[in-house]
Structure 1
Amino acid sequence: MKKIGSLLVTALLALSISACGTTADQTAGTSPDAAKSGEGTKKYVFGTDATYPPFEFEKDGKYVGIDVELINAIAKEEGFEVELKPMDFKGIIPAITAKQLDGAIAGISITEERKQVVALSEPYYKAGLSLVVREDNTEIKGPDDLKGKVIAIKKGTTGAKQADELAKKHGAQVKYFDDSPAMFQEVVNKNADVTIEDYPVVSYKIAVDPASKLKIVGDRLNGDFYGIAVSKDNTELMKKINDGLKKVKDSGKLDEIINKYMKSESK
């Protein structure tokens, strides 16, 4: 009888240990996704580039901007929480594929190349790339004037791809930087002749900083749309983002957020 009782206790202990192990394994296997905050509310970690006004930047010790307010509005609609992780733009997509991030909102242009490695939401903003030069530059009026010129560009962006193509076509040189302020400064300092940046970003910079010494030249080089990136296998989060984005659009909240920072109609 003691032997049977002992065996029964042993079995129950094994079952208990097995159940606890399963819970631990599930928790460990879902990082950073499914991190819990409060009473069962999921918290997702989103990468962002905090040097990219008006979409995301730091002000008075807080992260603000169109993208910051948008992802928080989506989270409110869909009942989850967001933890923002600022980082260099070039590291955002690799961090998603490595499961170091659940997703990212950072003025990410929707491209076929990016769709191969991450899932991208429905578009929320039409951007487009522009050529940017010093305000006293009268030589460069468009891509045909780039022969022998130096293009400063941020790594890992659609602008970098455009710069490489233009440099090859027109005989220019490309210099790479980790963030937008550095590439802008290179042009201001006359160490580069031109840079390429999303139209709303550089338009905002020139508007809020008259001393920027920069100007936009020529027509937009393309018509990129921004989307929110998520790991390709995280269909649950992608659905929440697209559902929440639709609600934010339909309610007029998205236009309200954009107009707050752009002081103009949404593009």
Structure 2
Amino acid sequence: MFRRSFFIAIAATLLSPVLASAADLPDLKGREIVVVTENAYPPLQFVDPKTGKPIGWEYDAMNEIAKRLNAKVEYQNASWDAMIPAVSAGQYDIGMTGISIKEERKEKVDFSDPYMRSEMFMLVRADETRFTDPKSFAAFEKGLIGAQAGTTPFYTAVYDNLDGNEQNPRVKLMETFGATVQALRTGDVDLVLTDGVAGKGYVDSSNGTLKLIGGPLGGDDFGFIFKKGSDLVVPVNAAIAALKADGTFAALDKKWFLDYKLGE
């Protein structure tokens, strides 16, 4: 998944500002950590249209975690549907792509402590007037939702916006979140459900063609994922606590959710 109107509420959950030195954290002694992401979830992680380089909140956070733990990070890409199985199998050390902490996912991977809380919102074209909330969308029988299978937006679409049937033909499955937004832009679907983070990023870069409507549809915590039993969970959790405590995460929130404008 804080918003100063649409942001997910993070600041209220931050620990009291206490500076934490690297000496207080585990030392991984230069260990290389392979981190996989999708680069499709601005402003958490995406490819900068100006430079072609991957950037975002999660990149900054992971780079700082590695710095504090005396580790080196190698980033790789994978699709969402391949990410959890690949991390579970040990192909990568850590997965990051705004992954909601879910009990069923805990059967396959270990999660870090939460680093952010996400709420689902309805992303539509700016001229949309046929529906304004889940109830009116459900009544709009021709309305289509774009979603990735197995994601929080998919389950929210099925169970909070429609009839609970995961085979409902009104849900059009796509391989990436970016593809669902592109389908929305072109009119192939009428609605995309997104956490406020990604939604705000796409709205800000849409030149007035997209908007968020309605209120938040529940909330989830985001966490990094690891292979079951990974020895990285404890040190990463220690670093997350330190970055919350010393205000680093709050500074990243300001950088990516207030100051940064995608596409400018």
User: Is the TM value for this pair above 0.5?
Assistant: yes
Secondary structure at 1:126's aligned position in 2?
strand
Indicate how the Cα distance of structure 1 residues 252 and 45 shifts in structure 2: closer, same or farther if over 3 A, else same: same
Aligned match of 2:253: 258
Answering whether residue 157 of structure 2 is matched by residue 168 of structure 1, we say: no
Whether contact under 8 Å (2:29, 2:71) holds in the other structure is: no
Which structure carries more helix by proportion?
1
Answering whether residue 102 of structure 2 is matched by residue 111 of structure 1, we say: yes
User: In the alignment, residue 254 of structure 1 is paired with which amino acid?
Assistant: F
Secondary structure at 1:74's aligned position in 2?
helix
Q: Decide which of 212, 217, 234 is 1:221's aligned counterpart.
A: 217
Greater RCO (Cα-Cα under 8 Å, separation 6 or more): 2
Where does structure 2 lack aligned partners over 5 or more consecutive residues? 1-27, 260-264
Q: For residues 177-215 of structure 1, give each alpha carbon's deviation from its aligned partner in whole angstroms, at most 9, with x where no partner exists.
A: 11122111212222111111111111122123324x111
**Percent of pairs with identical residues:** 28
Q: TM-score, normalised by structure 1?
A: 0.79
Whether contact under 8 Å (1:129, 1:197) holds in the other structure is: yes
Whether contact under 8 Å (1:89, 1:156) holds in the other structure is: no
Indicate how the Cα distance of structure 1 residues 137 and 172 shifts in structure 2: closer, same or farther if over 3 A, else same: farther
Report the Cα distance in structure 1 between the residues aligned to 2:40 and 2:187, rounded to whole angstroms.
Answer: 22
Report the Cα distance in structure 2 between the residues aligned to 1:204 and 1:97, rounded to whole angstroms.
Answer: 29
Answering whether residue 186 of structure 2 is matched by residue 197 of structure 1, we say: no
Residue 219 of structure 1 deviates from its aligned partner by 0.9
Whether contact under 8 Å (1:124, 1:227) holds in the other structure is: yes
User: In the alignment, residue 58 of structure 2 is paired with which amino acid?
Assistant: D
Where does structure 1 lack aligned partners over 5 or more consecutive residues? 1-38
Q: TM-score, normalised by structure 2?
A: 0.80
Aligned match of 1:232: 228
Whether contact under 8 Å (2:124, 2:213) holds in the other structure is: yes
Whether contact under 8 Å (1:78, 1:244) holds in the other structure is: yes
Residue 134 of structure 1 deviates from its aligned partner by 1.2
Which structure carries more strand by proportion?
1
Whether contact under 8 Å (1:47, 1:105) holds in the other structure is: yes
Aligned match of 1:133: 124
Secondary structure at 1:44's aligned position in 2?
strand
Aligned match of 2:239: 244
Aligned match of 1:153: 147
Indicate how the Cα distance of structure 1 residues 214 and 172 shifts in structure 2: closer, same or farther if over 3 A, else same: farther
Report the Cα distance in structure 2 between the residues aligned to 1:51 and 1:156, rounded to whole angstroms.
Answer: 16
Over the aligned positions, Cα root-mean-square deviation in angstroms equals: 1.9
Q: Decide which of 54, 57, 71 is 2:46's aligned counterpart.
A: 57
Secondary structure at 1:107's aligned position in 2?
coil
Report the Cα distance in structure 2 between the residues aligned to 1:115 and 1:93, rounded to whole angstroms.
Answer: 10
Moved over 4 A (4+): 169-172
Residue 169 of structure 1 deviates from its aligned partner by 4.5
Answering whether residue 119 of structure 2 is matched by residue 124 of structure 1, we say: no
